[in-house]
Structure 1
Amino acid sequence: MSLLDVRGLTVRTDDGRTLVDDLSFTVDTGERLGLIGESGSGKSLTTLAVLGLLPDGMTATGSVELAGTQIVGAPEKRLTALRGRDAAVVFQEPLTALDPLMRVGRLIAEPLARRTGLKGRALRTGVAEALARVRLPDPERIARAFPHEISGGQRQRVALAMALACEPSLLIADEPTTALDVSVQAEMLELLDTLVREREMAVLCVSHDLAVVAKVTDRALVMKDGRAVEEGPVLDVIGTPRAAYTKALVAGARKLESALDLRSAP
């Protein structure tokens, strides 16, 4: 049985608009799947449906099974138990995802304490180790800081440390490097790739950036207007796309890369 099994997932608004349409895919234990598509293609809504976090005014139908538990229609108490333990998420902009009124150390301590039961000095040590694991310098100083007092790259590492604290089976990364500059993006992707490989963790990575998906996933699913248009090994999907929409995405990415190369040339 797959770790994540999505069958016929459909997301509609209360006024009848269909935003995700009859979507099906699986993610096995240790597998890494990328969801590719432009803004508005339904990628992020799919991940929210997987976690039972759709906003008010939207309803999911179909089937989403995570670690053998049905997500669609499940009570909030059951979903809360799954989040962090079976699946955790790193969002695009950690400054809005992290509670601005909580110090970094407390942000990590709360999920860590729930999973391990650690308290006092042992919990503080666990927090410092979690921050060091994502290669943050001076973990004790970072732990005392509020999110707005550290850089964007450091905040994204904090978000990753929070997600990994409970050692989930599935890590959902929703545009994890979009808000970072190019050099920090590369460091973050290398770190993410290393950590998930070490833990043999499954990954569902959402991105419009083909280079990101190629770096951190094994298989790719291309979405357009809420539907799947192509799926397969990531290098095949990007290297020899079959669907017209995928071909257009790849061509657009190549044109952008060429333009950036020309701009940076002496």
Structure 2
Amino acid sequence: MTLLDVDRLSVTAADGRPLVTDLSFTVAGGERLGLIGESGSGKSLTTLAVLGLLPEGMTATGSVHLAGTQTVGAPEKRLTAVRGRDAAVVFQEPLTALDPLMRVGRQIAGPLARRTGLKGRALRAATHEALAQVRLPEPDRIARAFPHEISGGQRQRVALAAALACEPALLIADEPTTALDVSVQAEMLDLIDTLVRDRAMAVLFVSHDLAVVAKVTDRVLVMKDGRSVEAGPVGDLVAAPREEYTRNLVASARKLESALDLRSAP
């Protein structure tokens, strides 16, 4: 069953410049799709358009159906209903998503309360459980902390906990490991991979790094200058890319041997 259906999506800047052009793809329930391309390729704008979060002045045309809801041109009330319930997002820098003046626990408890109706002790227990599921030590202490009082890796885990707390059908992960140290990146990728598999969630994973995408996705769509360049199963695309741009991505991918191990045939 198709969970996300993007059909001829285009995003235009305030001055009329095309930023994304006629982009089409689908994500089925439980499927993991990677969007990959260099900076400025339109990957992140695509994910923002899916959730109706484009910056002021940018406009989207075309069609985006998320769990049956058209999000392009939808009123904010309808978009608020699908965010968190049908799809949730983890951004590259968690400080852009976390309120620096609000304790971590409240930032998870708020969406949980709205979606589940939990209150009091039950809400606190669910909040601590959400933090524990992303392998944060001492969930009670973390819940009482402000974002600046914990490390970057812990903040990203908090952002993931907040995204997953309401059990959305689709997780959008926009460069979620780029700002982390290499060792922390590996831990975060393993955590995301484990959690989404355990919950049979769909994933739209955005990255410039093909080696990273190859570890956590089934299928890849390559973007350049706001357009689709090539798409296919990740193992096939890594083993035998058709387009020169994709071949360059493969050649420059970090830890390329990890991606090559995913080929379906020797």
Task: Specify every segment of 5 or more residues in structure 1 that has no aligned partner in the other structure, as ranges.
Answer: 259-266
Q: What are the residue-to-residue correspondences of 1:91-130 with 2, within 5 Å?
A: 91-130=91-130
Whether 2:173 is the aligned partner of 1:173: answer yes
Whether 2:122 is the aligned partner of 1:133: answer no
Instruction: Name the CA distance, whole Å, in 2 between partners of 1:217 and 1:52.
Output: 24
Alpha-carbon offset, residue 257 of structure 1: 6.5
Q: What are the residue-to-residue correspondences of 1:238-249 with 2, within 5 Å?
A: 238-249=238-249
Question: Contact conserved, 2:250 with 2:256, CA < 8 A, in 1?
Answer: no
TM-score (norm 2): 0.95
Instruction: Name the CA distance, whole Å, in 2 between partners of 1:126 and 1:253.
Output: 39
Identical aligned pairs, as a percentage?
82
CA-based RMSD of the aligned residues comes to 1.2
Instruction: Name the CA distance, whole Å, in 2 between partners of 1:10 and 1:154.
Output: 35
Instruction: Name the CA distance, whole Å, in 2 between partners of 1:257 and 1:216.
Output: 14
CA deviation map 1:121-173 (0-9, x unaligned): 11111111000000000000000000000001100000000000110000000
Alpha-carbon offset, residue 253 of structure 1: 2.1
Moved more, 245-254 or 105-114: 245-254
Alpha-carbon offset, residue 194 of structure 1: 0.3
Q: In structure 2, what is the equivalent of residue 261 of structure 1?
A: none
Task: Specify every segment of 5 or more residues in structure 2 that has no aligned partner in the other structure, as ranges.
Answer: 258-266
Alpha-carbon offset, residue 8 of structure 1: 0.3
Question: Contact conserved, 2:220 with 2:233, CA < 8 A, in 1?
Answer: yes
Partner SS state of residue 123, structure 2: helix
2:90 is aligned with what amino acid? V
Q: Between Structure 1 and Structure 2, how many residues are aligned?
A: 257
2:55 is aligned with what amino acid? P
Alpha-carbon offset, residue 229 of structure 1: 0.5
Instruction: Name the CA distance, whole Å, in 1 between partners of 2:211 and 2:122.
Output: 40
1:58 is aligned with what amino acid? M
4+ residue runs of structure 1 moved beyond 2 angstroms?
A: none
Q: In structure 2, what is the equivalent of residue 198 of structure 1?
A: 198
Q: What are the residue-to-residue correspondences of 1:1-266 with 2, within 5 Å?
A: 1-253=1-253
2:97 is aligned with what amino acid? A
Instruction: Name the CA distance, whole Å, in 1 between partners of 2:61 and 2:96.
Output: 28
Partner SS state of residue 198, structure 1: helix
Partner SS state of residue 127, structure 1: helix
2:218 is aligned with what amino acid? D
Instruction: Name the CA distance, whole Å, in 1 between partners of 2:239 and 2:19.
Output: 28
1:46 is aligned with what amino acid? T
Alpha-carbon offset, residue 96 of structure 1: 2.2
